[in-house]
Amino acid sequence: MENKTGRRHTLANLFHSCMQKVLGPIGSVSETGLEMMSGDGIWRRCHPIFAIFIGDYPKQALVTCTFNGQCPKCLVPHDQLGEYDSFPLCTQSSMIGIYRLADGDMRQFHQTCCEAGVKPVVNPFWASLPLGDIFVSITLDILHQMLQGMVKYLIQWLISIFGPSVIDVQCKSIPPNHKILIFSKGITILSRVMGKEHKKICRFLLGLIVDLPVPGGMDSSRVVKAVHALLDFLFLAQFQSHTSDTLSWLEDSLVAFHNNKAIFVDLGIQEDFNIPKLHGLLHYASSICLFSTTDNYNTKQSERLHIDLAKNTYHATNHKDKYSQMTVWLERHEKIQQHSASIDWRQNNLQNIRTWTPIGALCMHTQSIKMAYKPSSKAVPFPNIFWKYGTLLFQDRLGDFIAAINNPGLGMHALHTCSANTLLPFHTVCVYHNIKFRAANDTQELEIVDAVHVRLEQKDKRGWIIPARFDTVLVQGRGEGECFFIHTEAWIWSNPFSRLSGCTGSRSV
């Protein structure tokens, strides 16, 4: 079909037709009920309904048959999307009467849809689903609406106000921290930024502009208040539990942003705030009251499948006739997974066998170490290890480690004698400048609890000397297969032998 408008209408009707087929069984049992066993083993009569639709803004507009630039939940005019005000909500019962006209004169049906401001979709799938309201079922989305929406707008506004060079310099001045992702080259040069990067940027975004003067001599506190309010709203909206107080704070932060947003218009950065994603922030409190916290209907989980089912699949092709190759690739991997599951079932004579770990067992384990796959410096000569890193006894401790591996059970005196006769067949080692320590939290998930950073003395582009940095690490105990190089000036991890289980070093005081 060459007509783009006709193609869009056809795809919208096809989508609703497919959804009507998928959700057809729900409509037949919603009113009559269905006997189902609950978790306590008691049979109850249940009435399944279409409760929540999770998706980004284009999918919400497709489901509710609204046009782009309109709110899928209320009847707000397009020129008032940026206002902090309440508007009448859309109701499914009022829309069903319009879509029933599709069974009669199509010309009158299209004219009525045009007057009502909705898309002329024939038989939307939700029109035949009782005991539900599609406009209430539309939920908010942290990933696309906040992280990839308002946060993205906010970063662009700040870059336009202070300039990209100033923002990047502020980013480079942030000291290393294992809880914050450091953007050493700045954030203005980033492209195709994902939601997790925007979330990490929000951790220090306010600190970048808190002491910067606004061009034109305007009051910079209005910019700080607007950024502070929007970031507060973002973090409050992601709470995993809410009370009436937290919901009140959520509304107060939104009011504070609307009270200070005019600074962006005064600076000529934004003409208006008729942004559907900004208007959607008005519905967060009501959605949380109806459907609980936002992590229950965040698209972050479903978007993760794009990597496995689309991106990785596309990279496996030769980028020619990709759809057929992607389909074959997915089919083969599914067959391999099914075959592996069948082998596991036959070998264990149990289906879906899993190893049960007692609660709290992981907490007894010591901290694990997380390191980069590639070293920071691939080949550092021994003289540089001595002079630049200050590891005075590196070769001696390395010889002790090799002697202990080759001659287990030797005493300390015999070990040093054997170490003195050890010949090192190499003159360089790999060095890692960043080490992270992980430990199990209360939910038995490994999280980073500390990190160690090393930075040699170097010069920047302007010729200024950046001083060296060596974090202090206290090492307690000695694990099997580990060798701690005790020195006072550096932190070095190396793996000179591929045959060894790992030759590692740590700074100790």
Which of the 8 DSSP states describes residue 349?
Answer: S
Neighbours of 212 (CB within 10 A): 17
DSSP string, 275-331: -HHHHGGGGHHHHHHHH--GGGS-THHHHTHHIIIIIHHHHTS-SSSHHHHHHHHHH
pLDDT band (50, 70, 90) for residue 476: low
Rounded to the nearest integer, the mean pLDDT of the chain is 82
Q: 255-286 pLDDT, tens per residue?
A: 999 999 999 999 989 888 999 999 999 999 99
Q: 317-360 pLDDT, tens per residue?
A: 888 888 889 999 999 988 998 898 888 888 876 544 444 443 33
pTM over 0.75: no
Q: 394-428 pLDDT, tens per residue?
A: 888 888 888 888 888 777 788 888 888 888 888 88
Whole-number pLDDT of residue 376: 87
Q: Are 77 and 153 in contact (CB under 8 A)?
A: no
- Which secondary-structure segment (H or E) carries 94? helix 92-99
Whole-number pLDDT of residue 366: 58
DSSP string, 181-237: ---TT-STT--S--HHHHHHHTTTHHHHHTTPPPGGG--THHHHHHHHHHHHHHHHH
